[in-house]
Amino acid sequence: MVGLFVPTAVRRNLKMQDDTPPVSRKKGVYLLPNLFTTVTLFGGFYGVVMAMTGRFENAAVGVLAAMIADALDGRIARMTGSESDFGKEYDSLCDMVAFGVAASIIMFAFSLQHLSAYPWLGGRLGWVLAFSFTACAALMAQT
């Protein structure tokens, strides 16, 4: 706060932090990019569920929808000025689920499960390959 001995006319011309009104951000603006990020998460979840039921075409469509939503969420956040640390972390988590976990489960269910017939790694070669893909996706999400 400015001292008491500063004339009133001078105080009016100074831009003081105490006199500035707080910047109010519209909470609805933050909802839009996070909604697209949630669509990314849902696309990955949908892909996993479809892979578990053997509907691999639908699983691929789910991951494709996640890819489109992921491409749009960052742009929308920048256009609306609603970038936040939470949004960045949430986007990384959803990318990990949609493009790491979901993609590796789809890959395992479609083709890698047949590697259990080979005795390498106790018949778990498909698991190791699918997990390696997931681990690499997690490491990529952190960069």
Share of the chain above pLDDT 90, in %: 59
Q: Taking residues 69-97, report their average pLDDT.
A: 92
pLDDT at 72 exceeding the cut of 80: yes
Q: Taking residues 12-34, report their average pLDDT.
A: 63
Q: Print burial letters for 103-129: b (CB count within 10 Å at least 16), e (below 16).
A: bbbbbbbeebeebeeeeeeeeebbbeb
The mean pLDDT value of the chain amounts to: 85
Whole-model pTM: value is 0.76
